[in-house]
Structure 1
Amino acid sequence: MDIPAMDEDSTLQSPFIVRDDYLVSLGEPGGHLITDEEYQDYRLEVEYRFPGEPGNCGVLVHASTPRALYDMFPKSIEVQMMHKNAGDFWCIVEDINVPNMEERRGPREEWGITEGKKRRILNLTDGSEKPLGQWNTMTIECLDGTVKVWVNGDLVNHGREATASSGHIALQAEGAEVEFRKVELTPITALSK
């Protein structure tokens, strides 16, 4: 775990717990649960729900340098899970290209990967998420510099030419409680390419 607030107050409750056989991100204090290993060329399937109030959370792929943005977020590409925005990309000191980039990210001169820049890349669809409290399935496929995202079977984002193609994987604690009943990583072998 990387929880910046716990550096100064070790008595804070961990924002990541196991409850009723679910991994739970309590949302506060903010931070990340990060894999020990680095991964490349894989499919990650995550089943999640917001059990109470809707809010924010995300899966970070190709994560590397800790606290690279706002002294909180590791250098990575975030796949957004925020309610009604699932599948958006957020560029966190890494970048990725998508079709219709200006339409989905805003004016080119405002793009960037650091504080104060347009880092959000909108997903392709609205309405792929299930109603609040129900389980959603997010599938993230990272292969050869591309990142594809499906929410409940709908392709909601597809980026290419990512500035990183490997790294750690992280789950966020970012303001809302989220339950995970499945986090499954499957390598994509050279034979299946």
Structure 2
Amino acid sequence: MTKSITTIATLGIITLITGCSSSMSTQFAPLFNGESLEGWTIVNGDKTTWVAQNNMIVTTGNPTGIMRTNEMYENFILELDWRHMVTNGNAGLFVWSDPIPAIGVPFTRSIEVQIMDGKELDWYTTHGDIFSIWGAQMTPDRPHPLGAHVQRCLPSERRSNPAPEWNHYIVTCIDGTIKLSVNGKVVSGGFDITPRKGYICFEAEGTPAQFKNIIIKVLPNSTPEIPEGEIANESIGFATLFNGINLQGWATSDETNWNAGGNILHCSKGSGTLTTSTALQAYELMFDFKCNAETSFAFLEIDGIKTTLPEGEMGKWSRFTIQGEGKTIGIGGDDASFTNVFIRPLQ
């Protein structure tokens, strides 16, 4: 009964925003079929990071990363239940997201709806914050206590239940405006959002969490159409070559000088080449790398031929893209780190 009343209240918000509720869809549809992850893509993690189990999406939280919908969404209402399995758990929901992470991080440009338990500081809460991340833009419904430069809306009241209790979210996204209802009441929001069309993602961030009853109502698109600059990037088929937790799928004669974890590959001084286990067909490779000391360097090796990567600012991530055909791919260097290793087939 509570959920029905809450949905009606949320639809009232939509009417105020759009003034055309009569043209909207009247049906919610499952965004998760309860049995498999069909319709979803694990972007940067292992197949064990996200599983369908007992009508829930379950994440181990390891490695930190995201799983996204295969489709992009513009205007919609999303409902879901979530819970953390440990105190101080951390996860997230991203809307209007790019398909792959921003440079050097496991997160995408998007609007994050906080899914967090327990720990708080003066600039964030665990009760439904909404904020822009990694290049997205948003004006919060209420100014942040630290100033207008902080694009984060703190909730009007604390309504989240602690772990391991369930919480219910209703997220309403229309024409670059977002509203969040937590357990029956709208508490936070933002407007003037860019991008305002993109993917929906769940975030894993170190601790186990569960999601269920995930349904979506797709609403009419904006009129006039959204300018291209306000739409998230569309997926062009990149898939991860690195599972974020170990060297599965890679080969090296020097495992002692390579370590993997937290979605980062790191090679120590004088390490050998880390090579894909199999040769690849025509492809485009994209990855981020950084050198961790003044004397560090990184290289790419294709079919045994080494090329030193362009020197960037020490300790700062750079993105490198190259196309190739029918060769093995290797990476290496001297005190260098690699992340966001993606590949896509070329026709």
Give TM-score scaled by structure 2 length: 0.47
Instruction: State whether structure 2 residue 76 is matched by structure 1 residue 45.
Output: no
Render the CA deviation track for 1:54-88: whole Å, top value 9, x for unaligned.
31111100001522154211110000011151321
TM alignment of 1:60-139, pairs within 5 A: 60-64=94-98, 66-68=100-102, 70-84=104-118, 85-92=126-133, 93-103=135-145, 106-108=146-148, 111=149, 118=150, 120-126=152-158, 128-139=159-170
What is the alpha-carbon distance in structure 2 between the residues aligned to residue 147 and residue 124 of structure 1? 15
Kept in 2: contact 1:53–1:176 (CA 8 A): no
Paired AA for residue 181 in structure 1: K
* 1:14 and 1:29 in contact (8 A); partners too: no
Residues 135 and 102 of structure 1: is their aligned pair in 2 closer, same or farther, counting only changes over 3 Å? closer
CA distance in 2, matches of 1:32, 1:62: 14
Q: Secondary structure at the match of 2:108?
A: coil
Query: Aligned pair in 2 of structure 1 residues 131, 53: CA closer, same or farther (>3 Å)?
Result: closer
Q: Distance in 1 between matches of 2:65 and 2:186?
A: 28
Q: Which residue of 1 aligns with 2:184?
A: 153
Gaps of 5+ in 1: 7-11, 112-117
Paired residue for 2:48?
14
Q: 1:182 to 1:100 in 2, by over 3 A?
A: same
Q: 2:57 aligns with which of 23, 31, 35?
A: 23
Secondary structure in 2 matching 1:185:
strand
CA separation of 1:33/1:65 partners in 2, compared to 1, >3 Å: closer, same or farther? closer
Is the CA contact 1:45–1:183 (under 8 Å) kept in the aligned structure 2? Answer: yes
1:2 matches 2:34? no
SS at match of 1:91: strand
Q: Is the 8 A contact 2:138 2:190 kept in 1?
A: yes
Give the aligned residue type for 1:163. T
Cα distance, 1:20 vs structure 2: 2.6
**Pick from 162, 175, 191: which aligns with 2:193?**
162
Residue aligned with 1:86, SS: coil
Higher Rg of the two aligned structures = 2
Deviation sequence 1:116-144 (CA, Å, 0-9, x none): xx454322222x11232121101100001
Change (3 A) 1:36 1:158: same
Per the TM alignment, residue 50 of structure 1 is displaced from its structure 2 partner at its CA by: 1.2
Greater RCO, CA 8 A, separation 6+: 1
Q: Using the alignment, how far apart are the partners of 1:167 and 1:82 within structure 2?
A: 23
CA contact (8 A) 2:90 2:205 kept: yes
TM-score of the two chains, using structure 1 as the length reference: 0.81
What RMSD, in angstroms, separates the aligned Cα atoms of the two structures? 1.9
More strand, by proportion: 2
Number of corresponding residues: 172
1:75 and 1:25 map into 2 onto residues whose CA distance is 21
